[in-house]
Chains A and B, each alone.
Chain A
């Protein structure tokens, strides 16, 4: 899950997959804008065939939090 998410992340921001850590914060560390982040989660919905609640998405700060949330779905 982490690896697949890291792959998707690299489609949105200029960062190397190996530099993405579980504690990396999407906005502060990886350089996502709020809309990049939402669009990326939209792609994640399709990739993993899940439905993400926008309210829960707004509370996700780090890559690990995203992984934990996706695994709970």
Chain B
């Protein structure tokens, strides 16, 4: 049953009152077997525990004198991550979820730009936390979530997450207002600089609870997407909580298939890249009956995959239907907290991105989709010009081209903004990559684009420089430059295809390279 909420605290309080003793979060943990070996077990926390732990976190933040502060959270999806998030936003502070896979320097830049005074991090991000001590002068408190940090060489002043919780009581009484800022999420800008999307409690809570999908309480959901992304945070965690779902945490992208068999979910949110890989898995033994293949690959319980983050080829809907799995495609952007439209189990159309969410409306201006409603962001943090370009009289300019058909279903036809959206739902700014690769002296001009689902860089080398430096293998050197860039870049931002050209790019009247 769908319960509409206007603050994130409402979502958690209602869920704990309705589903208190039921499992809220399940996750894998390592336990000592007693013979020097460790075994993997599934542990769980109930809705009551989730609410109480988050209230303890809120109390702890207040005790540090940081109520109302910006709190950066960087780490893999985990119970402590979720507790830190709920504790931050429900206690009157602002969460800044960050991409755990970014290089340390970039993370420090975002931590500083977000004006965070508290950093919550996991064991794999210890190097980031150490670097932040030098590069982020506004930071005052460090909270390490990983219990393995206890007893290790932990810098002085670092707080340990479990000790922080153990030192507090539940029942922290703060009631956030719907218009209070809850979260700043960074999204790729088309000019190469990430933009901090400011989302209120109302933006996130109403997006998570406005649409009744007809799902029952107790549904098992496996959360595989990166938790710092609006799609995962809003739909897996917030909506999952509001529905009394059992939210199972996938511990690594390496183990999605294994974890599907372990947790036996009914529903998974995915991006097209995952759906494409699973389609191949389903079809590699197509001589067996479909129910057997499905049980072998996905277990018997999976009935729904929600697809978002990037456009999914509609062919996949029929391919999965054969195995009794419904794919529901949706559309959104971080700036809309994030879902703008979604197909629903009883209201869907192949090829479309669904009908507009009940809490927003869509119009088409010069073929571009504009959105208005209670999930539209407040603006970009400390970027008034970019905000003014994107928000016009309360309408969000999506940068995506599309139309609405006579039945109210939305369809995408293209993209106006210069942004690559990869098949795993990540936004990549071509200009950011062009700036980084173009910094090399041997690169005179570079254009980055998406081609056949991968990132391609087309490069015009500086032959004068090559001659001066007596570089014989220009192509080899260019490929080394791209390799050096790739080494420091997260997987989804890597350049897969390199093309060299022997003439300059065509320019427009303002001397900028023409993008085709």
Contacts and interface: CB of A to CB of B under 8 A. Distances in A.
B257 A33 contact: no
A7 B228 CA distance: 35
A58 B254 contact: no
A17 to B, nearest CB: 16
A33 B276 contact: yes
Nearest to A37: B491
B424 A34 contact: yes
Interface in B258-277: 258, 273-274, 276-277
A42 B497 contact: no
Contacts of A54: 252-254
B124 interface: yes
Interface residues of A, number: 23
Contacts, number: 58
Given A11-B284, A27-B496, A58-B101, A36 B277 contact: yes
A1 B399 CA distance: 48
Number of contact residues on B: which range applies? Answer: 20 to 34
A45 interface: yes
Contact of A35 (B253, B284, B490): B253
A35 B254 contact: no
B423 interface: yes
| Interface of B: prevailing SS | helix
B231 to A, nearest CB: 16
Contacts of A59: 487
A57 B274 CA distance: 17
A43 to B, nearest CB: 8
A41 B277 CA distance: 13
Contacts of B453: 33
Contacts of B490: 58
B69 interface: no
B256 interface: yes
A16 B490 CA distance: 28
Counting chain A CB atoms within 10 Å of each CB, the highest count among B252, B423, B487 belongs to: B252
Given A58-B490, A58-B491, A42 B277 contact: no
Interface string A9-39: 0011000000000000001100001111111
Contacts of B485: none
Contacts of A12: 277, 280
Nearest to A57: B254
Given A35-B277, A39-B277, 6 more contacts: A27-B454, A27-B496, A33-B453, A38-B256, A42-B254, A55-B124
Interface of B: 101, 124, 252-258, 273-274, 276-277, 280-281, 284, 423-424, 453-454, 486-487, 490-492, 494, 496-497
23 contacts: A12-B277, A12-B280, A27-B454, A27-B494, A27-B496, A33-B276, A33-B453, A34-B273, A34-B491, A35-B276, A36-B277, A38-B254, A39-B256, A39-B281, A42-B256, A42-B257, A43-B257, A45-B255, A54-B253, A54-B254, A58-B101, A58-B491, A59-B487
Interface of A: 11-12, 27-28, 33-39, 41-43, 45-46, 52, 54-55, 57-59, 61
